[in-house]
Amino acid sequence: MRKVWIEVALNGAWGRALQPGIPETVEEIVADGIACARAGAGIVHTHAYSADGKPTSDWQVYARIIEGIRAEIDVPVYPSYPPIPRAGMDAATRFAHVEALAARGLLDFAVVDPGSVNFTTTKTTATTKPAGTYLNPEDHVRHALAFAARQGLHPAFAIYEPGFTRAGAALARAAGVKAPVYRVMFSDKFAFGFPPKPYALAAHVALLEESAAGAPWMIAGLAVDIRPLIAETVARGGHVRVGLEDAPLGSSMSNVAWVEAAVQLVRDSGAEPASGPDVRNALQALPAAA
């Protein structure tokens, strides 16, 4: 029976004003990550917060989270990185915490997204404050991919726009990295990419097959419920990401509930959720970026 990866994205950078159920403290994140892995998540993704409740890239905070989860259950855990680099922030500074974590053997993925995007909302108006831009200049992407190649890590891509797939595949080949994991991102609230519709999934899969045949991929998103796409995703050979970073804002479901729902839908589709070791074994069998 095929093993489907279920990744849980625990929190994001929303803050509790927008997503009340997210874990923020190290202790909350560790407990939630363990509970989700025990419920069927084979990968855990998290953002870290400092004592004042603001997002942080302190590698020591991330290390406490990763070590805390992995002390209880063997599952890959990977961090985020600053979405909008401060003025003058170079790539080495932006990814310093990722390199520090890798140096301590705490990472399975080298997180980097191969493009930039505006977070325009689908219901924007003439008086709406202009949306922020998620910035990933190519020199930053190249820096992160070169690091991934040196460390033998698989890049973790979030594909907000279809062009991210083509650019990511080209840059991954140029860097000689192991096959990236492509997370195709849907949204109802934001106007990037596609809404969570079957035609959109089919388009993403077709483009990925042309650009990076055989690479692992999963459905994900921001402020969206991707459960209606899970059955078709499993049938097409893909994997699944859920959790409060991705869920509609104000979600009444916990991270564990999102994982449990994904597990049931995966099983209903004739597959089984992969464990952390299952994910690692599958990654080890993958070739370099094609």
**What's the total number of domains in the chain?**
1
Q: Is residue 45 part of a domain?
A: yes
**Stretch 161-185: mean pLDDT, rounded?**
97
Report the CATH number that the domain containing residue 51 is assigned in CATH: 3.20.20.70
Whether 139 maps to a domain, the answer reads: yes
Average pLDDT over residues 127-138: 94
- Establish if 138 belongs to a structural domain: yes
- The pLDDT value recorded for residue 52 is 87
pLDDT digits (tens, 9 = 90+) for 147-164: 999 999 999 999 999 999
In a domain, 289, yes or no: no
pLDDT at 290: 65
Q: Tens digit of pLDDT for each residue in 265-280?
A: 999 999 999 999 999 9
Whether pLDDT at 114 is above 90: yes
Q: What is the pLDDT of residues 24-77, one digit of tens each?
A: 999 999 999 999 999 999 999 999 999 888 899 999 999 999 999 999 999 999
State if pTM tops 0.85.
Answer: yes
- Summary mean pLDDT of the chain: 95
Whether the per-residue pLDDT at 87 is higher than 80: the answer is: no
Query: 68 in a domain, yes or no?
Result: yes
Query: Within a domain: residue 142?
Result: yes
Q: Give pLDDT tens digits for 139-148.
A: 999 999 999 9
The verdict on residue 94 lying in a domain is: yes
Whether 61 is in a domain gets the answer yes
Q: 92-109, pLDDT tens digit by residue?
A: 999 999 999 999 999 999
User: Over 80: is that where the pLDDT of 287 sits?
Assistant: no
**Residue percentage of the chain with pLDDT more than 90:** 93
Range of the domain at 80: 3-247+272-284
pLDDT of residue 255 exceeding 80:
yes
Measured CA distances, 156 to 129, 183, 184 (Å):
31, 8, 11
